[in-house]
Structures are given as C-alpha cells and as structure tokens.
A and B are shown apart, each in its own frame.
Chain A
C-alpha cells in the first residue's frame, strides 16, 4: 500500500476536490509540499476555472441576417 498518493493520483484527486469542495487529506497535503509539479497543476486548475467563468468580451458578432430575422420574429 502506498503511503502517499503519486502524481497521477494527485491530479485526479485535485480535480475531484475542486468539485466536491472537500478538504485535502494529510497525505495529499504532504504530497503537495514535496511536489512542485503538482502545486503547479493545482494553480493551473484555478486559472482554468477563473478564465472560464469570465464573460467573453471580444469575438464574433451576431450576423446582420440573424439580427434582421430576429427583428422580424419580434414583429418589429
């Protein structure tokens, strides 16, 4: 039996903990203390979540045809 989770375990556990909101176990926290790569991975999950939650600012616009079609559907 492994005393500490390895990086593969940690990657899935960190993802799961992000969704469940559970606290990390002692073994998981110890692994993070020792492993810079898993610490980076954890930061990356946060960054992905932050970026995804932001409303898109730029990007494509609704086409003129679609706007005209919607105006017709609204009876305007």
Chain B
C-alpha cells in the first residue's frame, strides 16, 4: 500500500470529481473525500490488494455518497417538491410531440457524443439546473447504477414516484442538452 501522506495528491482530484459529479456541491464533495481517505486510512489493514487503491477508495466514497443523499432526502422531504410544470408544451392535446418539443436529431452517431468529455460536462451543467429530487433520482439510477428499488428506498419515495422523478429528469436533461449541446434543427 502506498504512503497515506501521498493519497491527497495521488487520488484526491479523481475522488473529488467523482463526488462532485454526483453531489453538485463542492463543499460536500470535499468533505466526503476527506471522510473517504480517513476511513481508508483507518481500515487500511483490511485492504487486500485485489483491486487498485483508487477502486477500493471509490467504493468507500460511493457508500458515503449514498448515505449523504439518503440523509439529504430525509431532511428535505424531496418527494414533495417537484411539480412537473416544465413538461408543458412538449405535447399537443392529441398526445403527440409538438414541433418545438419533439426530439431533435442528435446526429449520425449520438452514442459517440456520449463518450466525449465535453458532452459529459454539458450533461453535468444540465444536471445542475434540475430540482434536487429529480437530479438525485437520476444520479442514483443512471450514474451509480442503483436498481429502482434501492433508488426508491434511498430517496424515501414509493416506486411509482421514483418513475415520475426519473421521467422528469430524462425529459429535462434531453431538452437542456438539445439547447446547449446539439444544434437545433427540424426533427423531420
């Protein structure tokens, strides 16, 4: 195992970026990185070397992020604060997409865009614009890969409410990315 004194320089930036991308709060991200490295230091005897130190520390940080989001969800009663008004205007009365709300063409190979660091930065900026409940649902489900039941439990909401939060997150993120990342063009 490497010298713990070198951990902040060796792993601090990557752990911080991981935490920040999920928490969207630099101070909280810093605190969780500190807690992570202190926990790693105290339990260093249990590190078997089966994975890299960074992978091991990221696992510790991940658990701390879950705890943080769970605590935040409890304190803020997140399930009650999102009214969904921003989905207005996407659909016509007959239930079909409106011309202005319809999904735009994201280019020939949109999956390639997902691999770029710039797209990831645009996604994070769009995530910042979401309400906390909607953002946290998306972070737990799509960034952390938590199953729907575990997400609902972490956020303290019933599973049908989680589905609504995830739907709103996806609808708003794709709209935001169309405005900030993809050049708008007629859908068809």
Question: Which A residues are in CB contact (< 8 Å) with B66?
Answer: none
**Chain B 155-188, CB within 8 Å of chain A: the 1/0 string?**
0000000010011001101100100000000011
Q: Is B79 an interface residue (CB 8 A)?
A: no
Query: B21 touching A56 by the CB < 8 A rule?
Result: yes
Binding site for B on A (CB under 8 A): 6-9, 11-12, 15-16, 19-20, 36-38, 40-41, 43-63, 66-71, 73-76
24 A-B contact pairs sorted by A residue (CB < 8 Å): A6-B96, A8-B91, A8-B96, A19-B141, A37-B102, A43-B110, A47-B114, A48-B174, A50-B115, A51-B114, A52-B123, A52-B138, A52-B139, A54-B114, A56-B117, A56-B124, A57-B117, A61-B13, A62-B13, A63-B30, A68-B8, A70-B12, A74-B37, A76-B5
Contacts from B to A (Cβ < 8 Å) = 3-5, 7-9, 12-13, 15-18, 20-21, 26, 30, 33-34, 37-38, 41, 90-91, 94-97, 102-106, 110-111, 113-115, 117, 119-121, 123-124, 138-139, 141-143, 145, 148, 163, 166-167, 170-171, 173-174, 177, 187-188
